[in-house]
Amino acid sequence: MSFAPDPLAASGIVVVDKPAGMTSHDVVARLRRFFGTRKVGHAGTLDPMATGVLVAGIERGTKLLAHLVAEDKVYATTIRLGQATSTDDAEGEIVSETDASHLSDEEILARIAELTGDISQVPSSVSAIKIGGRRAHELVRAGEEVDIPARPVTVYSFDVSAVRREATFIDVDARVHCSKGTYIRSLARDLGAALGVGGHLTALRREAVGAFTLDDATPLASLETNATLSLTLDEALARGWPVLDVTAEEYTALALGKWLEPRGLKGVHAAIGPDGRAVALVKEQGKRLSTVFVARPSTL
């Protein structure tokens, strides 16, 4: 017996270990060339100086990216206390220097505790946030004043692994688990400001986006010679969200965008059919179990 080819065989995600010195857009441009398709996007920008997990969608995998952007992130970072920069990271110009050598570990940890939990954060003025249809960093580079309102974010943990003292500076190595929309540069800036010495980010490596980690990541250079998906669309849904097994009849209904009876589920689940294929992401909304993303619409 022969089976029809899977129309989503080339769709899924690529977890890239982004190198320093490239924008996320640069990575997407490379992936378009490597995979021979224009249908490539990414789930969450990484600054050029940052490295680590950049989740890219290929073909129909691009439709999944909006749901991945909403996931928590984990970062390994180094914050330098005693210097503030124009961009809140090492790529900017130094705008102030203050001797930080008098600060005790206890003082630093106390201020870090204040930046943990539900906080209000003003994103960096050179972030990719859009103001009036333009990116904040574009406005800054054009010499325009940028006023970005504070926004609520959650820092689930802000764990310090080392406090290294070098002359008048202090470098703090930490691991941050945070909600979407959290800017680590802003944490560095605010920590330095709270301690009265200024601060900026000197290193940033993203270790995880939701369930996708560095263990899944492939160096960009390796993808040039072997352009393969990290996970198919089926695998990505099953890995990224709790699995809800559905019958063949329910699978067909979800593929048509129809809703099912509620099951008492909390949060988003991946609906998987008897054949092991993922049909949709679903979520209970009122008295309906509705689709929030259809991976395999009936039209495919």
What are the DSSP calls for 3-69, one per residue?
-PPPTTTT-EEEEEEEPTT--HHHHHHHHHHHHT-S-EEESS---TT-EEEEEEEEGGGGGGHHHHH
- Tell me the pLDDT band of 86, cut-offs 50, 70 and 90: confident
271, amino acid identity: A
- Tell me the pLDDT band of 128, cut-offs 50, 70 and 90: low
| CATH 2.30.130.10 domain span(s) along the chain | 241-294
**Model-level pTM?**
0.90
CATH class given for the domain over 241-294: mainly beta
Q: pLDDT of 95-113, one tens digit each? A: 999 999 999 999 999 999 9
Span 74-78, mean pLDDT? 98
Pairwise CA distance, residues 125 & 201, whole Å: 14
Q: What percentage of the chain has pLDDT greater than the value 70? A: 91
Q: Which CATH architecture has domain 12-70+210-232?
A: 2-Layer Sandwich (3.30)
* 245 catalytically annotated: no
What pLDDT is attached to residue 2? 44
Residue of 17, 47, 88, 190 marked active site? 47
156, amino acid identity: Y
Pairwise CA distance, residues 178 & 186, whole Å: 13
Q: pLDDT of 237-274, one tens digit each? A: 999 999 999 999 999 999 999 999 998 999 999 999 99
In 3D space, the residue among 84, 52, 117 whose CA is nearest the CA of residue 188 turns out to be: 84
CATH class given for the domain over 73-208: alpha beta
Q: What's the Cα-to-Cα distance from 177 to each of 161, 184, 187, 270, rounded to whole Å?
A: 14, 10, 12, 24
| CATH 3.30.2350.10 domain span(s) along the chain | 12-70+210-232, 73-208
Q: What is the longest distance spanned by two Cα atoms in the chain? A: 76
Pairwise CA distance, residues 292 & 233, whole Å: 15
Is 284 in contact with 263 (CB distance < 8 Å)? yes
Is 237 in contact with 295 (CB distance < 8 Å)? yes
Listed in sequence order, the residues at least 6 apart from 249 whose beta carbon sits closer than 8 Å to its beta carbon are none
Q: pLDDT of 207-242, one tens digit each? A: 999 999 999 999 999 999 999 999 999 999 999 999
pLDDT beyond 50 at 9: yes
- How is residue 186 written in tokens? 């802003």
What pLDDT is attached to residue 298? 85
Q: Comparing 136 with 23, which gets the higher pLDDT?
A: 23
Helix residue ranges per DSSP H, the chain: 24-35, 65-69, 105-114, 136-141, 184-195, 220-225, 233-240, 248-255
Span 25-49, mean pLDDT? 95
